[in-house]
Amino acid sequence: AFYDLRINDLGMLGYWPLDESTAGDPVVDATGRAAVGTPGGTGGAYNRPQPLATASLASAIAFSDPYGLAFDGADDRIQIPVNLAAKTAITVCMWLKMDGYGPNADQIAVELSDNANSNAGTFYINPDGSGGLGLAGGYFQVLLQGNTGSASMAGVARPSAGVWHHIAVVLDYGKGTDEIDSVWIDGVSLAVTRGNNINTTGAFANGTLNVMSRNGASNFSWGSLDELRIYGRVLNATEISALACGNSPAIASFKQELGNLLDVDHDLTLVAGGLDVTGASYGVQVGGSWRNLGGVFTPRAGTVTFDGATGGVIASDRNVFNVVSVTGAGTWTLADDFAARGDLTLSAGVLDVSSFDHEVRAATIVQTSGVGGFVPRGGTVVLEPTGSKTLTAVTTLNDVRIQTRHERGLVGYWKLDEGAGLVARDSSSAGNDGTLAGAALWSTAVPTAPGFGNPACLVLRGAESVSAARPTTATDNFTLCAWMKPSVIPQYNGMVVYVGDDPGGWGFSIGGIDASNAKLYGLFGQVAWLDSGYTVPAANVWHHVVMRRAAGTTAFWVDGVQTANTYGDVPRAPNASFEIGHQPYGGANRYFTGGVDDVRVYDRALSVAEIRNLANGRYADGSGVAEPTDAGLAGLWRFDDLSGTTAADSSGNGLNGALTGGPTWSMSTPGAVTFGDPASLAFDGIDDYVRVPYAAACDFSTATAFSASAWFYRSTTLPDGAIVSQFRQTGSPYQGWMLWTDGNELRFFINGATQKTVSCTTDGWHHIAAVWDGANVQMWLDGAASTTSAYATAPSTAANDLIIGGYYLNGNDDGSTPGYRFNNRIDDLRLYRRAVSSAEVGYLAAGRYIDNSVGSPSIALGRALTVAGSFTLNSGIFDANGFTTTVADPFTLTQGGGRYLARSGTQTFSGGFAITGSTFNGGSGLIDVNGNFTQAQPTETNGSPATQDGGSFTASSGALTISGNFAHAGGTFTHNNGTVTLDGTDQAITGVATTFNHLSKTVAAAATLTFPTGEGNAQTVLGTCTLQGAPGQRLALRSATPGTSWFITPSGIRAISYVDVRDSINTLAPTINPPESLNSGDNERWFGRSGRGGSGVGFPWIF
């Protein structure tokens, strides 16, 4: 094991974070080169440089930056011994805020040597230059001294005073001309005005780096400095733009590759260069700090373990880990946002997000350490599962956001959020990471619409691109999407995205047909230019663009609105290339100029609603969970209900089954399943079964083919029972069909005889499928096919129920308990009214959907969850899994791609509940909303037509309690036979018509309940309608608009008393006669009246 390990490919020669907390403390060089700076100053306002706290520093800096330094302009300075010998090129970078500029005052930011005017191999950077050597005054001025006694001078426009700016100056003796190569302010290379321009050769000298002064004795600067760096080479535009975004440049000219486990007992510092765990994915163990100051870590499938007794800091520099485990007793504090593609496991020690409230992003968190083992402070935990994950958080979390990058048909997704480095990661499952070419710029000037986190984008300047392996698509039914911001218009064939190369493929551009214009064009390589009919109205504005080919027709959308033109041209198949911002063309190039962000490729044609979702910053699958529609699906019983006595049918045919005899919900599920699968159904073999009432969808006697698919569990042997059966009630016995189990065999039985058999001899979960295609039968066990057997007769089932978990001894379903019963677990039973293919069976057996797509990733709780801040479910599945969930701040289902499964545990939303899309399933436990309940159609961000109607909310079959207002203005509200209790004081029901099962509001002190107006907004109560005040403390029932009627339809029990009613129409006879109540007028079918009018105290009738 190493003690301390530093990796530096000599890309960084010095790095002074200036994070010293006490004036006069030595200024530390974070590279470990021991170039320690000495602060000085005895007069002026400060007497030496003073620490500046975070609130006064550049807000763009993305990592922990506790301090910078302020200089008084009188005599404050820092002097640092530096070793630049033999270097012919350097880049000097800093964050600088000048408090003011004098009239050509020569305030020096940094100077190498005692006198850069005369000493060879030296320089100075002067933000407040007075001119000289052929340059006028008033510039941000740079001097570079050659080795011949002559110096070059150049300048750029001074940046504004009183504001933080990122400065980068590139000096290169090796050019032979224009050695003051470039000056960058805030990531932009400015036009250089040159004075003397002496062509010199040589190298930089060793010496003293005077900071915010000249020679430590004059030309002191008045302002603030932070994050001073010197690199031993020319940084390219991509690297400088990363620094200007507040990141480090992720430099790796060379790298170290692991040949075994790397164990570092103390600190691992990646100064510059690469560390690659290689294809073997060797682990890395660190006992102390992980400091990435600007290198590149390649984690592959490896695990990083923090195992020390004291801990340290974790500075990842926007490099993404794979799996991270904290096993040591120490405390690790984040120095920047943390991201892991896999799990974050906390089994010991402490992980602290720091006072900077850094974000933690992982597939899930598994915390088995104590309550203090994770310190979230005010930070956000973002969970991005790629499969079924369990969240175990002992600690109370602050803000939580769940989102997944899985969308059906997404075969390429370049978010361009890296903000540093030369790699654009593919966030789809394809893993086709792209490489930046031509020094593209990172930028934080992103489109405002995306609501799923969007820290960066790319800016292309007409000669840059991203190249990756091509996503797999056919030449029809595909979708290509991107955000674009042309920085100039018109453009000449400015290709934004292209799939393939010139001989084939497709893409879209600004400008086309080999002409300069501002039109949006599609291109089918070597086939045709496609004029979309849209012209970009202005430069430097973000637009969302979609090119879709569906069933032979190509169309375009801009900002969610379809353009005028469509085409029937057929593209040629693309080659292996994929380009962002570029298309190679016959030895030439077609480059785009402007910003690009969030590039996606789908191997299917998105719907118009999905396109609008993307344009409004949502995921494409914004109208529901990303699950495909299975052609011919007759019934689907997932057995994920986890509570109640109903096995819900998810096919859309409403074939819910009644649990009989007491089957139990089991947490054991097939490990191969890729979609959310929290439970299965366990049968005891004694009297357990599920009865599904007859429906034409599952009457296969009229079908030309049918298929059955299920997962089952084997223990030692298989019982003489059935996974599923369907027999006649009377007549000839065993007329129908079943999937029958006995001993080590599974049998496909149709009309009195076994038509096919397969053998199963191993314990555990297995997948079984059986198909009758109208002429033959065939079975598959775990995806392996049997031979076929001829059989041409449909099952003679007549109008009979389905039985899950058994079959009948006499071959007739007489309504009793089946004589032969299955005694183990069954999961994900599917029936199709068609013959599924062998390939489709293989997909199901692999735990995928029948179209080979993976399911929506899920997060299931492993223990109770407490969230002190907000909880947002953007996409994927959140499964409370029987545990309680408590959220202090607002809970939102806003993106439309998520599903919340409440199950049986209490769900408490103390900051209110809002749903504008997605699905909420209330289960059977208490749903307690302390605040407003709001279900409404969202307001779109860019004026395009709304695509979400408010989502789908299914209340608990137990109780939904609301202390604030109940607003149902859109979407689907399903009462689920539960009770909605309004337990606040003054409350309002607003929005559209709602049907409740039981509705209750009871008060002990006078209060008001307001209803929406209009007959179309009538509130219907099927069960008990409880509206009660108390003696002398009536509950006032009022219209939202006084003088305008509100409507109620109480069709069940009317437990109404001590109320004060006005402007109400009861739509359902008989009249409501509430005791001890007040008729305040304009009521109909109230207080013994069939018409309106009257007022006074109601009779003391007792119902």
Mean pLDDT of the chain: 91
Tokens matching residue 862: 């492993």
Give the mean model confidence (pLDDT) for residues 185-194.
96
Q: Given the DSSP bridges, would you call strands 165-172 and 180-185 parallel, antiparallel or unpaired?
A: antiparallel
Dump pLDDT digits (tens) for 887-910. 999 998 875 567 898 988 999 999
Ramachandran region of residue 269, left (φ > 0), alpha (ψ -120 to 50) or beta?
Answer: beta
* 811 vs 732: CA distance, rounded Å: 8
Tokens matching residue 22: 């006490």
351 contacts 369 by C-beta, under 8 angstroms: no
Asked if residue 625 has pLDDT above 70, the reply is: no
pLDDT the model gives residue 897: 65
Tokens matching residue 716: 């030692």
**Helices (H), ranges, 326-408:** none
* 633 vs 833: CA distance, rounded Å: 6
Cis amide leading into 490 (omega within 30): yes
What's the DSSP call for residue 221? -
Nearest to 1051 by CA among 1013, 976, 997, 992: 997
Dump pLDDT digits (tens) for 410-425. 899 999 999 999 999 9
What secondary structure, in 3-state letters, does 1023-1049 show?
A: CCEEEECECCECEEEEECCCCCCEEEE
* pLDDT range class, residue 1097, cuts 50, 70, 90: low
pLDDT the model gives residue 2: 96
Q: DSSP string covering 962-974, please?
A: ESS-EEE-SSEEE
Q: What is the CA radius of gyration of the chain?
A: 35
* 304 vs 287: CA distance, rounded Å: 11
Dump pLDDT digits (tens) for 745-780. 999 999 989 999 999 999 999 999 999 999 999 999
pLDDT the model gives residue 624: 39
Nearest to 920 by CA among 888, 855, 873: 873
What sign for the dihedral angle of Cα 74, 30, 159, 21?
A: negative
* 725 vs 546: CA distance, rounded Å: 48
Backbone angles phi, psi at 56, to 5 degrees: -100, 5
* 997 vs 1020: CA distance, rounded Å: 8
pLDDT the model gives residue 676: 67
- Tell me the CA distances in angstroms from 632 to 623, 637, 656, one per residue in order: 22, 15, 18
What sign for the dihedral angle of Cα 22, 28, 34, 39?
A: negative
Give the mean model confidence (pLDDT) for residues 659-674.
89
Q: Cα angle vertex 537, ends 533, 539, to 5°? A: 125
804 contacts 710 by C-beta, under 8 angstroms: no
Q: Given the DSSP bridges, would you call strands 1059-1061 and 1054-1057 parallel, antiparallel or unpaired?
A: unpaired
Asked if residue 589 has pLDDT above 80, the reply is: yes
- Tell me the CA distances in angstroms from 1090 to 247, 788, 852, 1049, one per residue in order: 73, 71, 61, 15
Residues in contact with 1047: Cβ distance below 8 Å, sequence separation at least 6, in sequence order: 1011, 1014, 1015, 1017, 1018, 1019, 1064, 1065, 1066, 1067
903 contacts 955 by C-beta, under 8 angstroms: no
- Give the predicted TM-score (pTM) of the model: 0.84
* 226 vs 237: CA distance, rounded Å: 21
Backbone angles phi, psi at 668, to 5 degrees: -80, 125
Instruction: Please give the distance of CA 810 from its chain centroid, rounded to a whole number.
Output: 55
Give the mean model confidence (pLDDT) for residues 22-28.
96
Residues in contact with 489: Cβ distance below 8 Å, sequence separation at least 6, in sequence order: 510, 518, 536, 538, 539
* pLDDT range class, residue 949, cuts 50, 70, 90: low
How many other C-beta atoms lie within 10 A of the C-beta of residue 730? 11
1022 contacts 1051 by C-beta, under 8 angstroms: yes
Instruction: Give the highest mean pLDDT range of 6-10, 101-105, 499-503, 1006-1010.
Output: 1006-1010
pLDDT the model gives residue 1100: 40
Residue type for 594, please? G
Q: Cα angle vertex 901, ends 903, 874, to 5°? A: 155
Q: Cα angle vertex 129, ends 128, 130, to 5°? A: 125
Dump pLDDT digits (tens) for 74-132. 999 999 999 998 899 999 999 999 999 987 689 999 999 877 777 888 999 999 999 99
Cis amide leading into 26 (omega within 30): no
Q: Which domains does the chain have, with CATH numbers?
A: 7-244 (2.60.120.200), 255-377 (no CATH), 410-615 (2.60.120.200), 633-845 (2.60.120.200), 861-1097 (no CATH)
Q: Is 615 helix (H, G, I), strand (E, B) or coil?
A: helix
pLDDT the model gives residue 684: 95
Q: Of 117 and 27, which is predicted with more confidence?
A: 27
- Out of 318-332, 409-423, 603-617, 739-753, pick the least confident: 603-617
Q: DSSP string covering 324-359, please?
A: EEE-SSSEEEESB-EEBSSEEEE-SSEEE-TTTT--
Tokens matching residue 170: 């590139």
What sign for the dihedral angle of Cα 799, 801, 803, 807?
A: negative
Nearest to 332 by CA among 67, 68, 22, 64: 64
* 235 vs 240: CA distance, rounded Å: 6
Burial of 305 (0-12, 13-18, 19+ CB in 10 A): buried
Asked if residue 623 has pLDDT above 50, the reply is: no
* 655 vs 503: CA distance, rounded Å: 52
* 892 vs 895: CA distance, rounded Å: 9
Whats the size of the chain, residue-wise? 1103
Q: Cα angle vertex 21, ends 18, 23, to 5°? A: 85
* pLDDT range class, residue 627, cuts 50, 70, 90: low
**H or E element at residue 636:** strand 633-637
pLDDT the model gives residue 626: 45
Residues in contact with 301: Cβ distance below 8 Å, sequence separation at least 6, in sequence order: 281, 322
Give the mean model confidence (pLDDT) for residues 426-453.
88
Nearest to 309 by CA among 266, 368, 270, 263: 266
* 632 vs 835: CA distance, rounded Å: 9
Which residue in the block uniquely carries the two structure tokens 């400095």?
A: 225
* pLDDT range class, residue 11, cuts 50, 70, 90: confident
pLDDT the model gives residue 1050: 97
Asked if residue 323 has pLDDT above 90, the reply is: yes
* 1011 vs 333: CA distance, rounded Å: 52
What's the DSSP call for residue 700? G
**H or E element at residue 838:** helix 838-845
Tokens matching residue 350: 């402490």
Residue type for 589, please? N
